[in-house]
Amino acid sequence: MSRNGKRYSDEFKEQIVKLHEMGKKVYELSDEYGISAVTIYNWIKETKPVANGEFSKKEYEKMKKELQQLRMENEILKKATAIFARKQQEK
């Protein structure tokens, strides 16, 4: 979030980045939309592919969080399975 508390939708950010990709200069977009140039550069950086060329940094971070969540859920399921297996053996 920016210091002045403004939040922009993902769609708006994507439109600004697309305008930049179509040839608009960052300073033109900054003046036209009242967004700091640094913010626009950050949005551009977020959408650029990372080293492998397939995912943007934002997508990569999202997948990393999802993977961490799935690993945690998997560990919980393993422990639950072990508990249920013990209860079945006790019967």
| Chain centroid to CA 9 | 13
- The pTM is what? 0.55
Output DSSP code: residue 5.
-
Query: How far, in Å, CA of 74 to CA of 79, rounded?
Result: 9
Residue with tokens 């998997």: 74
One pLDDT digit (tens) per residue for the chain, 91 residues: 455 667 899 899 999 999 999 999 999 999 999 999 999 999 998 887 766 667 787 888 899 999 999 999 999 999 999 888 888 887 7
